[in-house]
Amino acid sequence: MENNIGKEFMRMTRYANLEQSAQSQGIPMPPIELPLTEAARVLSLPDGKSLSLPALDLAALIEKRETLRKYSQQALSQAELAYLLWGTQGVKSINEKNITRRMVPSAGARHAFETFLLINRVDGLEAGLYRYLALKHQLAHLPAPADFNAQLTQACLNQPHVANSAVTFIWVADAQRMVWRYCQRGYRYMFLDAGHVCQNLYLLAESIGCGVCALAAYDDDLVNAALNLDGENQFAIYLATLGKRD
């Protein structure tokens, strides 16, 4: 297959094929966080750095890291969830140009992701669909059907670790944030950025006795529909299940 889709994507996202960017045309920068629906309920989170942990050996964490698909029924604390969210998409600072610096690298500091969560077992939180509001380090409880767990599990090709996770992270790309500066080449950068975020999650999870399974095997249309995304301007780019080790 000489002219397959993958090769065409790589060819068309070379610098030689890029159009003039929206940024270079003076078009205003897209918002750095998606708006919330009125039905969302905003909740406070503990400080992401408040979790008391023993001294950590980074080399040991990296060596211990492995994919885990079976979890205990132990719940995460809200402090642990806040720690994981802060360490994957938490905001260090925001400048006068509305540019954020976060805990992970991102091309041009565009940080095109929103973190959606299927929460099954976190102390003090109802099971359901949530979104991390990184700018204020808050959590939004989103309206979702009672069978949202089953819907997301089906959308992830019925992989049981989705249904049985304490939390499943769903990173959603807001494409215009990246494309505004980098045109179609920005799609390359979003996929690279997703890897940075998920690796942080793996290491942070190991530090609190959890394991992670990164997930790229899912039905794009079903996941996007479950999250009420259009699948083009905003779309699920990567998922990861997480839970306490047995």
Q: What is the pLDDT of residues 3-62, one digit of tens each?
A: 699 999 999 999 999 999 999 999 999 999 999 988 999 999 999 999 999 898 999 999
Exposure pattern of 13-35 as b/e (b: 16+ CB <10 Å)?
A: beeeeeeeebeeeeeeebebbee
User: Looking at residue 246, what is its pLDDT?
Assistant: 86
* Residues 33, 136: Cα–Cα separation, whole Å: 11
User: Looking at residue 130, what is its pLDDT?
Assistant: 98
Q: Are 196 and 34 in contact (CB under 8 A)?
A: no
CATH number of the domain that 181 lies in?
A: 3.40.109.10
Q: What is the dihedral of CA 5, 6, 7, 9, to 10 degrees?
A: 80
In a domain? residue 23: no
- For residue 86, pLDDT beyond 90: yes
Which residues span the domain enclosing 166? Answer: 56-244
In a domain? residue 190: yes
Q: How far is CA 241 from CA 48, 83, 107, 148, 179, in A?
A: 20, 16, 25, 15, 28
In a domain? residue 28: no
Q: What is the dihedral of CA 58, 60, 61, 62, to 10 degrees?
A: 90
- Domain tally for the chain? 1
Helix or strand holding residue 161 (H, E): helix 160-164
Closest C-alpha among 89, 102, 99, 107 to residue 170 = 89
Long-range contacts of 4-13 (CB under 8 A, 24+ apart): 9/187, 12/184, 13/184, 13/185, 13/187, 13/188
In a domain? residue 11: no
* Residues 10, 6: Cα–Cα separation, whole Å: 6
Q: Is 182 helix (H, G, I), strand (E, B) or coil?
A: helix
pLDDT, tens digit (0-9, with 9 covering 90-100), for 122-173: 999 999 999 999 999 999 999 999 999 999 999 999 999 999 999 999 999 9
Closest C-alpha among 136, 122, 130, 126 to residue 172 = 130
User: Looking at residue 142, what is its pLDDT?
Assistant: 98
In a domain? residue 34: no
In a domain? residue 75: yes
Alpha-carbon torsion 122, 126, 130, 133, what sign? negative
In a domain? residue 13: no
Angle formed at CA 144 by CA 141 and CA 147, multiple of 5 degrees? 125
Q: Are 51 and 82 in contact (CB under 8 A)?
A: yes
pLDDT, tens digit (0-9, with 9 covering 90-100), for 177-224: 999 999 999 999 999 999 999 999 999 999 999 999 999 999 999 999
User: Looking at residue 2, what is its pLDDT?
Assistant: 65
User: Looking at residue 201, what is its pLDDT?
Assistant: 98
In a domain? residue 29: no
- For residue 1, pLDDT beyond 60: no
